[in-house]
Amino acid sequence: MKIVVCVKYVPDAQAGPRFAADHTTDRVGVTGILSELDEYAVEEALKIAEAQGGSTVTVVTVGPQGASDAIRKALQMGADAAVHVVDDAIHGSDAPATSLVLAAAVGRLEPDLVLTGMASTDGAMSVVPSMLAERLSLPQVTFAGSVAVADGTVRIERDGDASTEVIEAALPAVVSVTDQINDPRYPSFKGIMAAKKKPVQTWSLADLGISADQVGASAAWTVVDDIVARPPRQAGEIVSAAEGDGGHRLVAYLTGAKLV
């Protein structure tokens, strides 16, 4: 079985977000990491590959040169190979353009199963897996809390507020997993050393048959007009009942803040 995992290189949340002059997320001048939510997809792919026997796991990412760090982490965890799509024209791409590039890359690999995280920790849109499945003309099942593969089908369980849904789809399929599905492994020393010898292919837009005018900020469906820093936290207001009007003051505050 050929398993492909789509992963994303995101700014380290501990360092705080930074934005470029064109209002896009700065992915070059900041410390980046493999999106934590994508680690669950990598782990699940490795577990399926280990259970199936003879399976391979390839990770695919779209991003700047620094995105190789995300690839390296996945390879250290145990993935067999990687593909890095890097091209200056991709800068500023939105979700539709990202899914276009991913679909072209994943399609070339002809996988039996495509796994993704449920969202990226920077964009948090959760729409790319569905867009990817649509572009690949594959069935998709999302927000999986468990995944089982057998007899040419993938079966997932999706936990809701009141029930658990069980969904099956024929392979090949696209599956996004939640952060409740497993506990991602830490790279071992053996895994770190082995990752240095694993194959990593670098593809450009030209390699995928995509023109520059299909991606980037100029092709984006949305535009960020302005970015405003989050205001600092302010001290709260204490409502005392000592004077006997605490209840009225509390109601007035909640009403004025449109909380009731």
The hierarchical CATH code for the domain 2-219 is: 3.40.50.620
- pLDDT at residue 15, as a whole number: 65
The residue that leads in pLDDT, 247 or 118, is 118
The pLDDT value recorded for residue 242 is: 72
When the pLDDT of each residue in the chain is averaged and rounded to a whole number, the result is 90
Residue closest to 142 by CA, chosen among 112, 174, 165, 172: 174
- Which tens digit of pLDDT belongs to each residue from 227-243? 777 788 888 777 777 77
CA 223 to chain centre: 21
Domains of the chain by residue range: 2-219
Tens of pLDDT, residues 39-88: 999 999 999 999 988 899 999 999 999 899 999 999 999 999 999 999 99
CB 59 within 8 A of CB 24: no
Helix, coil or strand: residue 257: coil
**Predicted pLDDT of residue 16:** 65
Match 């994943």 to its residue by tokens. 106
Q: What percentage of residues in the chain have a pLDDT greater than 90?
A: 64
DSSP string, 69-111: HHHHHHHHHT--EEEEE--GGGTT--HHHHHHHHHHHHHHH--
**Cβ-contact 30, 14 below 8 angstroms:** no
Per-residue pLDDT reduced to its tens digit, 157-201: 998 888 999 999 999 999 999 999 999 999 999 999 999 999 999
Tens of pLDDT, residues 100-144: 999 999 999 999 999 999 998 887 788 999 999 999 999 999 999
Of 17-21, 153-157, 178-182, the one with minimum mean pLDDT is 17-21
Alpha-carbon dihedral 85, 64, 123, 98, rounded to 10 degrees: -30
Query: What's the pLDDT at 231?
Result: 81
- Pairing of the two strands 173-177 and 113-117: parallel
